Amino acid sequence: MNTLLEGVSNVAALAFIALWCLMMVFCGVGTFLIRVRHSRSSALSALPPSTAPGVTVLRPLKGVDCNLFDNLSSSFRQDYPLYELIFSVADQNDPAIEIVNELMTQYPEVDAKLIIGDVDVDVNPKVNNMLRGYQGAKYDIIWILDSNVHINPGCMGRSVSELMHPGIGLVHHLPCGVSPQTYGSYLEQAFLNTAHAKMYITINKVALASCVIGKSNMFRKSVLAQLGGLENYGKYMSEDNIIGEAIWKLGLRHRMTTDVAYQTLGSLSVPDYFKRRARWIRIRKYTVLAATLLEPFTESILNGFLAAWAFHRMLHVSVSLFLLAHFTIWISSDWIIATTLDTATRREAKKFLRAWCIRELAALPLWISAMAGSTVEWRGKLFWLNTDERWRPGAVVGKWMGKASVVKESWVEGVKAGIVSSSANIKATELADVAEPLLVVIPGRH
Nearest Cα neighbor of 87 from 129, 138, 140, 139 is 129
Q: Which string of DSSP letters, residue by residue, matches 168-187?
A: EEEEEEEEEEEEE-SHHHHH
Q: Go through the chain and tell me how many residues it has.
A: 446
Contacts of 259 (CB under 8 A, 6+ apart): 42, 151, 152, 154, 155, 158, 159, 173, 174
Q: Say which of 65, 118, 122, 240 is annotated catalytic.
A: 240
CB atoms within 10 A of CB 402: 4
Q: Where are the beta strands (DSSP E) in 267-380?
A: 375-378
Q: Where are the beta strands (DSSP E) in 187-298?
A: 216-220, 253-266
CB atoms within 10 A of CB 362: 19
Buried b (16+ CB within 10 A) or exposed e, 414-429: ebeeeebeeeeebeee
What are the helix and strand counts (H, E) for the chain? Answer: 15, 12
Using a 10 angstrom Cβ sphere, with 0-12 exposed, 13-18 middle and 19 or more buried, the burial of residue 277 is: buried
Please give the C-alpha separations between residue 235 and each of 385, 389, 435, in angstroms, as whole numbers. 11, 13, 21
CB atoms within 10 A of CB 413: 13
* Cα(233)–Cα(249) distance, integer angstroms: 15
Contacts of 361 (CB under 8 A, 6+ apart): 301
* Cα(381)–Cα(281) distance, integer angstroms: 18
- Bridge partner residues of 168 (DSSP): 253
SS3 state of residue 405 = coil
Element (H, E) at 83: strand 83-89
388 is catalytic: no
User: So which residues are the catalytic ones?
Assistant: 240
